[in-house]
Amino acid sequence: MPYATEETSSVAWFPEGNLCHSKTCGPRTNGIVLEAMKGKLSQPSEWDRSEPFCVMDLGYVYNEYQRWTSLLPDVKPFYAVKCNPDTHIIKVLNAMNSGFDCASRNEMELVMSQGVAPERIIFANPCKKISDLEYAQQSGVRKMTFDNEAELQKIRQRFPDAQLILRCLASDPSATYSLGSKFGASSATSVKLLQCAKSWGLSVVGVSFHIGSNAKDPTAFDKAIQNSREVFDAGLRTGHDMHLLDIGGGFSAHNFDAMASSIRQCIGKYFCGIDVEIVAEPGRYFAAGALTLACGIIGRRDAAANDEDKENRHMLYLNDGVYGTFICNIFEPGPQPKVLRASGDFYPLDSEDEYERYIIWGPTCDGTDCVAESVALPKSLAIDDWLYFPEMGAYSTCLSTGFNGFHSDRETIYMSSDPAADIYL
């Protein structure tokens, strides 16, 4: 069964990065990524085939930055390093003059080691370790967020000339991960904090908010930006030099057009005629679609035909799970797997194999290590076949653990679907 190439497959291929839109390939996985995975599995037998591996497409990062600047030309992205601290992503975004959202000393050290100037970093953690705050002061990272009086006191004592950004309360109920219960000052508290900062001689230069990670409701920005304008004006009345609006993160590449349209309208509605620098903190927007994960099937279990449990008859066990790259699957369904190799051959994109539904488990002994339920895949799958999962670049490899003795590191192959990004390989 030959591997489907651009010449042999019946699916449509597009010149812009060879995007493949077939059922088996997946919406954003391109031919170059598939060829890289095929090449990895075709290596001589000395390669350890027991471990999962990744392919990162730096061309994806490059193109998504271009898309961002096209749809939100007046909003400068500050990449949320926590999402995926891969230095190759940082290099691409640094070369494109992106800013960086860092939450710790280690993240600041990482981006500055790649040539990022401290002026292009926001220390976007409203509750900072004192040692990290002192490092920011020594390194010249002046822009930082806060949302409480205790944090102001800490900054007053150790970094009084910092440029402060007041984190305001905001939320999108449809977001996968809400942040409003942990961070963000209410409107009344914001006014008090602005007055407190002024009385202590501290400089508040802007307002920030975060509606939640993986936000889905474009209209959530309306209330958040309206509230930001009210706090912004309160800062001006208090005597602060307010000139920055940070609209946070939560962006996904899938609904970015709608999000960008809503943001443009809201900024025009609430900040029209105001001299303000606008920034954002996208993470998964840049990282999610850049990484594809390949996993091997290490076990299969099938119940008898007369088994009472008709829903869970077929099970696959992978060499990666929720204690590894799939940790976010605990909170939300992850990307649907596709077949990379079946029964020793590379799977054709136009295969008509009979499908059945599987539960997919990770390798650990924990009964909650479930990657996916009721997934339709070819009936013929067997041990040593491989699956791949597109869009695995966000909050995955950086959260992987070594539970049960399984390796947390993932070998990554770097490539580019856009020649313009080849220089970052």
The total number of structural domains in the chain stands at 2
Assess contact for 143 and 165: CB atoms under 8 A. Answer: yes
Query: Same domain, yes or no, for 251 and 348?
Result: no
What is the reported pLDDT for 27? 38
Specify whether 298 is located in the same domain as 324: yes
Domain presence at residue 46? yes
Q: Which residues contact 3 (CB under 8 A, 6 or more apart)?
A: 38, 345, 346, 347, 348
State yes or no: pLDDT of 385 exceeds 50: yes
**CA–CA distance, 192 with 91 (Å, rounded to integer):** 40
Beta strands in 310-402, from DSSP E residues, in sequence order? 314-318, 338-342, 345-346, 355-361, 370-378, 386-389
140-168 average pLDDT score: 98
SS3 string, 200-258, reads: CCCEEEEEECCCCECCCCCCHHHHHHHHHHHHHHHHHHHCCCCCEEECCCCCCCCCHHH
pTM over 0.85: yes
321 plus 274 within the same structural domain: no
Is residue 15 domain-resident?
Answer: no
- Candidate list 168, 295, 365, 398, residue with the active-site label: 365
Q: Are 165 and 146 in contact (CB under 8 A)?
A: yes
Give the model's confidence band at 332: pLDDT under 50 very low, under 70 low, under 90 confident, else very high. Answer: confident
Residue 21 has pLDDT above 80, yes or no: no
Domain co-membership, 259 together with 300: no
Q: pLDDT at position 345, please? A: 77
Lowest-confidence segment of 58-62, 220-224, 393-397 by average pLDDT: 220-224
Q: How confident is the model at residue 1 (pLDDT cuts 50, 70, 90)?
A: very low
Same domain, 41 and 157: no
**Is residue 115 located within the same domain as residue 234?**
yes
**Residue 36 covered by a domain:** yes
Residues 157 and 240: their CA atoms lie apart, in Å, by 19
Are residues 303 and 266 located together in one domain of the fold?
A: no
Q: Which tens digits make up the pLDDT trace of 350-375?
A: 677 889 999 999 999 999 999 999 99
Look at residue 6 and tell me if it is in a domain: no
Same-domain status, 273 and 308:
no
| Residue type present at position 214 | N
**Residue 168 DSSP symbol:** B
Q: Has 266 been annotated as catalytic?
A: no
What is the model's pLDDT at position 7? 29
Residue 7's identity, in one-letter code, is E
pLDDT attached to residue 183: 87
**What CATH number does residue 399 fall under?**
2.40.37.10
Q: Token pair for residue 188?
A: 């009344």
Residues 109 and 251 in one domain: yes
Beta bridge partners of 297: 318
Domain boundary among the residues 253, 282, 311 is at 282
239 and 309 share one domain? no
Beta strands in 64-218 (DSSP E): 75-80, 99-102, 121-123, 143-146, 163-167, 203-208
What's the confidence (pLDDT) of residue 47? 54
Per residue in 212-246, pLDDT tens? 766 567 778 899 999 999 999 999 999 999 999 99
Residue 20, in any domain of the structure: no
Residue ranges of the alpha helices (H) in 342-396? none
Of 256, 282, 308, which residue is a domain's last?
282
Same domain? 310 vs 414: yes
188 occurs within a structural domain:
yes
Predicted confidence (pLDDT) per residue in 282-311, tens digit = 999 999 999 999 999 999 999 877 666 666
Q: Tokens at residue 35, please?
A: 């060829």
- Same domain for 369 and 349, yes or no, is yes
Domain end, chosen from 282, 304, 332, is at 282
Q: What is the CATH number of the domain that holds 254?
A: 3.20.20.10
Helix (H, G, I), strand (E, B) or coil at 180: coil
106-152 pLDDT per residue, tens: 999 999 999 999 999 999 999 999 999 999 999 999 999 999 999 99
Structure tokens at 49: 């085939």
3 state DSSP class of 140: coil
Do 145 and 166 meet the contact criterion of CB atoms below 8 Å apart?
yes
Query: Taking all residues of the chain, what is their mean pLDDT, rounded to a whole number?
Result: 87
Amino acid at 367: G
Q: Which of 334, 298, 336 is nearest to 317 (CA)?
A: 298
Backbone angles phi, psi at 221, to 5 degrees: -70, -25
Q: Is 206 within the bounds of a domain?
A: yes
Domain that includes residue 211, residue range: 85-282
Closest CA to 416 of 94, 85, 31: 31
Residue 13 lies in a domain: no
- Residue 310 dihedral angles phi and psi, to the nearest 5°: -80, -20
Mean pLDDT of 396-421: 92
